[in-house]
Amino acid sequence: MYNFVTAVKANNDGALEAGLCPGTFRSVTRQWQIKNKMPLYGPRRIICYLYSIIAERSACPYAILKPVSFMATVKLSLNTEQITEEFFEDTKLLGIVTTVKDYKFCWNLNNLLELDFRINHDIEIRLKRKRRLYFFSVYEYRDPNSSLCHYLYNNLYDGEFLLPEFKHLDFLWLMKNDTVTDEYLEQVKAWLREIPGVQLITELTNEKIKNKDYLIF
């Protein structure tokens, strides 16, 4: 199993900042994930894997980790199921079928509904399939009046689907970080019906999604 060396700084309040050699923490974790054919999750998820090790050494301002295997790390950390459950806690997910491209769809959302969706390259989903990398863009909008965050995933990239079980869907709209009432969800659906080119809107429950891990950043 491929090993890597990284270092993590643990502040007094327990927050974690990743970095150091070789290169940035992101590049190191990307290399590690690609080597092990793992979905390319964001650095925050990898930090979860290392958290228990860091906690043991938090008395020191810097915790330099020796090379460790993926399996050894998992035994000392939160498991994947728990991470997935926490990520999707109190979330709502909509599937959207439309005839327009992602940039045009977001332009319509922003201008017709007065939202502010912007592409966020830091949470872009990168998956390795068929011996190549696929990049699924994610657009983000944070409600200025609450802690609710909206994430719009592009479900298709160069003939490959982010969620293969939903090949008929073009976009996935995730709402998280705050309670989403049924009334608000119906309002969002009503908004979407006003967008030119939208043909179908459906709610996706966790039970319907086989590859939820691919949505985690």
**Does the pLDDT value for residue 101 go beyond 70?**
yes
Please tell me the distance from the alpha carbon of residue 180 to that of residue 192, in angstroms, as a whole number: 16
Q: Do the Cβ atoms of 162 and 214 come closer than 8 Å?
A: yes
Residue with the bigger pLDDT between 135 and 61: it is 135
Looking at residue 42, its pLDDT comes to: 55
Which pair of tokens denotes residue 59?
């008395």
Cα–Cα distance between 201 and 194 in angstroms, integer?
A: 11
Q: What's the pLDDT score for residue 47?
A: 52
Per-residue three-class SS string for the chain = CCCECCEEEECCCCCEEEECCCCCHHHHHHHHHHHCCCCECCHHHHHHHHHHHHHHCCCCCEEECCCECHHHHHHCCCCHHHHHHHHCCCCEEEEEEECCCHHHHHHHHHHHHCCCCEECHHHCEEEEECCEEEEECEEEEECCCCCCEEEEEECEECCEECCHHHCCCCEEEEEECCCCCHHHHHHHHHHHHCCCCEEEEEECCHHHCCCHHHHCC
Pairing relation of β-strands 149-154 and 171-176? Answer: antiparallel
pTM assigned to the model: 0.66
Q: Mean pLDDT in the chain?
A: 75
pLDDT attached to residue 80? 75
Specify the pLDDT at position 99: 94
CA end-to-end span of the chain, whole Å? 23
Domains of the chain as residue ranges with CATH: 7-78 (no CATH), 87-215 (3.30.310)
Residue-wise pLDDT for 13-48, tens only, equals: 333 333 333 333 444 455 555 555 555 445 555 554
Q: pLDDT-derived band of residue 134, with 50, 70 and 90 as boundaries?
A: very high
